[in-house]
Structure 1
């Protein structure tokens, strides 16, 4: 079994701050979220976390240096032949022994994960001094993750899969109506608790990608729809997109730029399931990129007898 100092790339005389700094760099480098489906990297991440689980705890570090526990955290015979009387491992004998060390059992490294991946530090919760065997009972730390969804997935709901800190994957249900930067709490999916206390929670911050056409205000969805001059004057029926699919909408005659049509119940679900917003369609009269001579001649002739001033009644341009 490798020497824990070698795993973290530090010397035995390294300070606590140097050990922590070395761990942070390696944990970020080998984190499963950054290296999906790579078993070798996942194993490396576990080794680094296990090493810091001992060297990052002052008491365990002293026990390890004295040879009282091995690299897996197992108790050793104080007269184990692999150590000198000063507690330094003899050449080729560092970290002998078997078993497994639960790096979440006796020290809170959730703060490290939170610092690395954008979360806030979670204070100890649920601590009690009366746990069986003298181990204080304390709920595990929460761990924060991010999940990116598109606009329609957030509005209508979706299923997503994320990678957890321990290399496992978790299916996440994005409820209909989820808003940008909303945090979903998944119970007991965080770091392990102590003394039989429950695990912490996974906090999933949802990031919503911008949509090329839709914008959201509350539970309403807004959409600008360009129409021709003829469609505005005569009226028409258009097929427009919504978050649940395409629908037909009637444009009344004599519509104008800024005319807004409301599609009831075609917006975003209230995340509590109580009601649903609407979709608001704003019409924009749009001329061709280049108008031809026939259209310009017609408008000149028409305007001589039907002239009007669209700024007259606003009171702003007087």
Structure 2
């Protein structure tokens, strides 16, 4: 393990414990073997876990900063840093115990280093990891809310062995490594004196029992990857990039613990007629030259059906009007955003003889010097 612990988690050397914990949770979501199929995921997960264990312990972190990475790792192998008390093979530690969230109090410190019950938290039920996926919806679904079907591939408890890792009725025996305790005790000579530590038994992984047969379906892991179809409730007004949490739809818990959650990141597709900014919508409406000259009432399509908009006489092309409350619903708040309609004068591509004569008379009455070889509406178009 030659990579600096701060670099492993992607945090600065003055990062707070909260920032380190958050970076570790991000690493778990990316690299946990139950979540990632990447060939180096397990190794990256172990590195992140070790880095988190050291950097969230004040004493360990101080020693690490003083000694530097290489010397600390070498001392940790010899047990001189006290890292062996964290449990697990090679000092990598388990998900619980000291590495899982701190010592708690002075009694925990005593238990960890002097042979108390420190490692027992490894065998307690633990909630499964949160999983993350994405779901794309259209703007209409974001406006009205919707129920969406979503297919996900996720780790689930092996049904053949009920998550035990071995077939029912498999012969078992007491683990000779730990004598059924699930933990082994190590006495180490350190600069601070003789230190006794307990760690999860490598051979039985804390179970205290060894089974003669492994489940062929899950390979002894108790977990398999399965396809599942879930129904996601999309709330009206949700924005692009927001995340929905589906409780207990994540990875299975360990030792009878509850499942984790499934985090669904919502992506709202672009709409051909509307642009969204927050809870407001923006659109355009094409009108004719006479309509803006004399004024008119036009029909505007909204996500909730057509509405009428009064266009006053003398409206300029590009002018914008607000339809209050015709935008997106405000998520978890009362009311709706607004719809802004930008007026665009549409220039006809061809004119009848009467239309042409009428516009030429209009131009003459306005004292405009118009080249009749160039369409009047070409002139209008050029002016915009």
TM-score (norm 1): 0.55
Match of 1:111 among 20, 26, 35: 35
Distance 1:202 1:250, change over 3 A: same
Provide the alpha-carbon RMSD of the alignment. Answer: 3.2
Which protein shows a greater Rg?
Answer: 2
Secondary structure of 1:168 counterpart: strand
Secondary structure of 1:297 counterpart: helix
Does residue 192 in structure 1 map to residue 252 in structure 2?
yes
Does residue 142 in structure 1 map to residue 118 in structure 2?
no
Which of the pair is proportionally richer in helix? 2
Matches within 5 A, 1:1-318: 108-112=32-36, 127-129=95-97, 135=123, 137-164=125-152, 165=154, 166-307=226-367
Distance 1:132 1:227, change over 3 A: same
| 1:139 and 1:197 in contact (8 A); partners too | yes
Report what 2:103 is aligned to: none
1:154 Cα deviation (Å)? 0.9
Q: Whose RCO is larger (CA < 8 A, sep 6+)?
A: 2
Q: 5+ unaligned residues in a row in structure 2: which ranges?
A: 1-30, 40-44, 54-93, 98-117, 155-225, 370-382
For 1:236 and 1:114, the matched residues in 2 are separated by 62
Structure 1 segments of 4 or more deviating over 6 A? 121-126, 130-133
1:223 Cα deviation (Å)? 1.0
Range moving further from structure 2, 295-304 or 245-254: 295-304
1:248 Cα deviation (Å)? 2.0
Secondary structure of 2:266 counterpart: strand
For 1:247 and 1:159, the matched residues in 2 are separated by 27
Secondary structure of 1:110 counterpart: coil
TM-score (norm 2): 0.46
Aligned length: 199
For 1:225 and 1:168, the matched residues in 2 are separated by 44
| 1:140 and 1:192 in contact (8 A); partners too | yes
For 2:245 and 2:329, the matched residues in 1 are separated by 19
